[in-house]
A and B are shown apart, each in its own frame.
Chain A
Amino acid sequence: MSAVPTLLSVRDLGVEFPREGGGRIRTVEGVDLDVNAGEIVCLVGESGCGKSVTVRSLFGLLPPPGRQGDGSITFDGTELTTLDGPALRALCGKSVGYVFQDPMTYLNPLLTAGAQVAEAAVGHTKFARDPALTARVTDLFRELGIGDPQRVLHSYPHQLSGGMRQRVMIAMAVARRPRLLILDEPTTALDVTVQAQIIDLIRSIRRHTGSGMIFVTHDFGLVAELADHVCVMYAGQMVEYGRVERIFADPQHPYTRGLIECVIPLGGEAALRTIGGEVPDLGDPPSGCRFHPRCPRATERCRIEMPPPEPRAEGFVRCWHPGALGGSPATAVSDPALQRAAPRADQEQAGVSVSAVRKTFPVRGGAFGGHARVQAVNDVSLDIARGEIFALVGESGSGKSTLGRLVVGLNEPDAGRITIGGHEPARRLATPGGRPLAQMVFQDPYSSLNPRKRIRHALAQPLLNHRICAATETEARSSHLLELMGLTPPADFLDRFPHELSGGQRQRVVLARALAAEPQVLVADEPVSSLDMSTRAQILGLLQALRREMGLAVLLITHDLAIVSKVADRVGVMYLGRLFEIGPVASVIAEPLHPYTRMLVSAVPLTDPGAARARIPILMVGEPPSPVNLPTGCYFHPRCPHAMAVCATTEPRWREVAPGHQVACHLYP
């Protein structure tokens, strides 16, 4: 047993919500974990598993009608369930700091950053007349890496960047030097490079303050980077808790094992794996052990009774059949249906040619009087061959989504040319009755299908409008497409509405619809970012198969380099509307040339705890520039650790440094 006193000890925690038809339902049950001072416990699970609800219920922050059920919570020696509302809240304010996911909505838009941090420190917002308080807040900002504390002090949340806002939230949380920090997905809404900065900050806070931390996330890579202990949750139940090395090396619960196998690492040859089935709805969970419908080890007992926590090597596991034997629920992704699809010998699949394309947008309203323009895409050229998956990587504001829309033809470039097989996509889309050359798969499966139309309509629309088949054949065609996407039996799906399907199923419908129009090119804009980890591989597998079987050229737009390394053939890196590096995936990821690419690669969390701790991150400096006021010379120079004098004045030229691998950077003249 460790000599360090346990800061927070949770046993059998449950949370109840009123059920739709009356009565209450325990959405969260059986959560056990321990947090020690100076250590980080990562609470990990897929979206909808109840992690947020759990950490909020600890200190009474659940919005009604939720209510904490039984269980015990011991914090610093005090049993929290015995405290009343005001006492709990006072304790929370004094000894606990919360950092939430989206700093835009979690900060009061009407108060300045300084006022809100002051409020966290002393309970009121008036810092202007109090020099001591002002100094205290400014010092705190500096400690947290905020370079211009005076400006931030008097700024309103909407005037700050995402990363800055999150630092302000962290400042609020640590203002009173709390014993416990609870961070609920604090980096999910941030860009990858900003996430790296914040993670570095959190590590430094742990080093310097000795607070205990609970870090909630769905990203196993972050778990490997940060955690000392890991608590895995599934569908509102805790399934396993233990030291991070042990969890990765020897997971006891089948779900943990499966999930770790589903994580897509950077590089590597392992096949894409997925766990069959869907994550259940917390409003109507399965009985007993909630993972039993998807578990290869499930027996009758698993269906009836939730297993109690069994101690395992300084941790717990809730499973009737724990251990290494018994198999993993994760299976390699196979695409049998597509292998049966006839290769398209009759139609010449074309590639995409993008040449010196520019696109600007007017800025709506604001102080610029509507005359300023945002340079979304600036002089981009690239080619995608048929049968190739080209990944376009960048963070928010990079212009990758805009370029995607240009390739598909939804927008027309202001300058330059895009051709697919010799025709221009925008022009083709504008011609009435013209079949589009490219189709698109969108990011958000919830908004890409018309909520008031049945799936049948979504598939029939392209078939009829583009005269791909006669009206009498649409049913057969649509069913065939659904089968290809693995949605069987298709008759089950045709008459449903989108809200009756899960995210993964919807995304497959969207793919089917895209294929219905028989495009030559497919543009996939963040196709799996909104999906659960255990189902992502299915969609990625489908993309791979499409490329192989149908010879489609695929433009994959994403910020996730791990996916790129697994699925794509070539990759291009964009920043502020410009391409900076382009080349074969293996080459770019193994040997990134451009400093920005290096930062992106460094920012991908590693999935091995040992390697993660050993690595020194390459962090970006400075703040993102305003897209209306672009830097001179090389766009990246204000934030580049290797910037030289020439970078501020001249745009870098393209050089081929390795076969097929090109970079535009003054480091390679």
Chain B
Amino acid sequence: MLFGLPTIWLLVTVVFVMVHLAPGDPLTFITGEGDISSEQLARLRAEYGLDRPLATQYVLYLKKIAVGDFGFSYRYRAPVLELIADRIPATLLLMGPSLALFIGLGMLLGIVAARRPNSGIDLFMSGLALVGWSVPVFWLGQLLIIAFALKLGWFPTQGMFNLRAPAQGFGRALDVAWHLVLPATALGMRFLALSTRMTRSSMLQVLRLDYMTTARAKGLPERVVLARHGLPNALLPVITIVGMNVGTMLSGSVLVEVVFAWPGMGRLLYDGVLARDYPLIIGIILIVSVAVVLVNLITDVVYAIVDPRIRYD
């Protein structure tokens, strides 16, 4: 479990190195291009040890991260951590249901496709999955907006809620859900594609394995053979793949949030980039990286628990 720490440390160091290699006064990476008085600048320079040797700055940097100080955004006048904490719920709301729904759906489609390889159904599903994997997620978002929001008017074009809708309770939930449909679908396409492809290929491999023949020889009906012997073995690698792709899915959410003006962490990052709010950019990236490493660790642990070959060795 502690293997995650070196990775996190490496990441944090890489960010530090990059910030210091970048052209320009490092102070701008701490303040952004906001409006600050010269006394504040001097104070900050001392606080971050910018006149001290690099090693000392590095240690100060690490110390700050250890206590959760990821920087201060002068544009928003708030600590970065606080800003992120504010926006995370929206991103989770977007990613969570989308992830669960579309990965589950993908698994089903993958199983169906694997049952009759090279049939019409299989080719259709595999083709769909391939397109879903190849389409740029933000463009898909744009298409959905054009088709379903602008032309057909079924869904709103932007945002998470309507200012004129109720601010609490069931009405609010409904309003948010209505706004959620298009962005979640755009994001979900990629999950769906990945999950379908992985499940299909894994199932195909497993179906050919020898112990499937043994199960059939026992007289078990094909349904049972698939469900009891095929699926668990096939889904095992899918867990790892999904875990490994959390990073890509987060990237997708950034793009979707930008297209749909969804007030999540990704949108915050984008705003930060536009405004050259460096502490915000750096802070978000650090936090996201750490989070992804943790998710990967959890996936590894889950896999080790589920596979007895690793559990009992």
Structural contact, B210 and A105, CB atoms closer than 8 A: yes
Q: Which of B217, B221, B236, B312 contacts A159 (CB 8 A)?
A: B312
CB distance from A626 to the nearest CB of B (A): 13
Structural contact, B213 and A63, CB atoms closer than 8 A: yes
CB of A172 closer than 8 Å to a CB of B: yes
Structural contact, B308 and A93, CB atoms closer than 8 A: no
Structural contact, B308 and A156, CB atoms closer than 8 A: yes
Main SS of the interface on chain B? helix
CB of B90 closer than 8 Å to a CB of A: no
CB of B214 closer than 8 Å to a CB of A: yes
Structural contact, A93 and B307, CB atoms closer than 8 A: no
Structural contact, A93 and B220, CB atoms closer than 8 A: yes
CB of A89 closer than 8 Å to a CB of B: yes
Q: Which of B216, B221, B229, B313 contacts A108 (CB 8 A)?
A: B229
Structural contact, B221 and A86, CB atoms closer than 8 A: yes
| CA distance in complex: A634, B232 (Å) | 45
List residues of chain B with CB within 8 A of the CB of A120: 218
List residues of chain A with CB within 8 A of the CB of B214: 98, 100, 106-108, 169, 172
List residues of chain B with CB within 8 A of the CB of A219: none
Structural contact, A110 and B208, CB atoms closer than 8 A: no
List residues of chain A with CB within 8 A of the CB of B216: 61, 89, 92
Structural contact, B309 and A105, CB atoms closer than 8 A: no
User: What is the number of contacts between chain A and chain B, taking CB atoms within 8 Å?
Assistant: 79
Interface size range of chain A in the complex: 35 or more
Structural contact, B211 and A61, CB atoms closer than 8 A: no
Q: Which of A97, A108, A367 contacts B215 (CB 8 A)?
A: A108
Known contacts A92-B219, A94-B219, A110-B233; decide if A100 and B213 are in contact (CB<8 Å): yes
Question: Could you give, for residues 127-160 of chain A, a 1 whenever the CB lies within 8 Å of some chain B CB and a 0 otherwise?
Answer: 0000000000000000000000000000010110
Question: Could you give, for residues 203-246 of chain B, a 1 whenever the CB lies within 8 Å of some chain A CB and a 0 otherwise?
Answer: 00000111101111111111010001100110010000000000
Known contacts A100-B210, A156-B308; decide if A93 and B217 are in contact (CB<8 Å): yes
CB distance from B145 to the nearest CB of A (A): 45
Q: Which of A98, A105, A111, A366 contacts B209 (CB 8 A)?
A: A105
Known contacts A109-B308, A110-B233; decide if A366 and B218 are in contact (CB<8 Å): no
Question: Could you give, for residues 99-120 of chain A, a 1 whenever the CB lies within 8 Å of some chain B CB and a 0 otherwise?
Answer: 0101001111111000000011
Structural contact, B232 and A61, CB atoms closer than 8 A: no
In the complex, which residue of chain A has the Cβ closest to the Cβ of B219? A93
Known contacts A94-B219, A110-B232; decide if A102 and B308 are in contact (CB<8 Å): no
20 A-B contact pairs sorted by A residue (CB < 8 Å): A56-B213, A61-B216, A61-B217, A63-B213, A85-B222, A89-B220, A90-B219, A91-B219, A93-B217, A93-B218, A93-B220, A100-B210, A105-B209, A106-B214, A107-B211, A108-B211, A108-B215, A158-B308, A159-B312, A367-B313
A-B pairs with the 9 shortest C-beta distances?
A93-B219, A98-B217, A105-B210, A108-B211, A106-B210, A156-B308, A106-B214, A120-B218, A366-B313
Beyond the given pairs A93-B220, A97-B217, A123-B219, 9 more chain A to chain B contacts, judged by CB atoms under 8 angstroms and listed by A's residue number, are A100-B210, A106-B210, A108-B215, A108-B233, A110-B308, A123-B220, A123-B224, A169-B214, A365-B313
